[in-house]
Amino acid sequence: MGWTDAHLHEFQIGEILYATPHPEDWPERVIIDERRVKLHKALNGISRFGYLYDFGDSWQHTITVEEVAPPPKHPRGCAFIEAGERACPPDDAGGSYSYQEFLDRFAKNRRGKEVREFLEWAGEDFDPNKFDRHAANAALLRMAWNQWGDK
């Protein structure tokens, strides 16, 4: 997956913000440490929530939870992705509008100067049309093995 957790992010579930506390957070910003909460407890019956990655580029997502199964006895790796579309944009791609401009150029002329420059920066093997389910699930498994949260 293209994002490397190099930027701040937050989840908004209902009216509650979950993030990793940061020393430069505004004092009036009330967050719950995401590392101390299990997702199924934070959801508390909510099936849609927001995720914001990179406050500068402002990658905003709406996540829909289709099913929450009881956690297994040994819960490592119980989350998985069955399918997806397209590659995750690389970190620092400039946000959704800049990335969409790249996609439009890529669709018109894969050998154009601006496309070549972007691919040189992002990595020659980057293909915006390819979704790597195995890489996405490997990233989830790495997070699960970190065993964040105990509640």
Q: At 34, which CATH number?
A: 3.10.290.30
Whether the CB-CB separation of 118 and 104 falls below 8 Å is answered with no
pTM of the predicted structure, to 2 decimals: 0.77
Give the model confidence (pLDDT) of 24-63 as tens digits: 888 888 999 999 998 888 998 899 999 999 999 999 999 9
DSSP per-residue letters across 4-29: -S-S-EEEEETTEEEE---TTS-TT-
Residues 48 and 35 in one domain: yes
Look at residue 69 and tell me if it is in a domain. yes
Look at residue 140 and tell me if it is in a domain. no
The range of the structural domain enclosing residue 73 comes to 1-82+147-151
pLDDT grade for 147, boundaries at 50, 70 and 90:
low
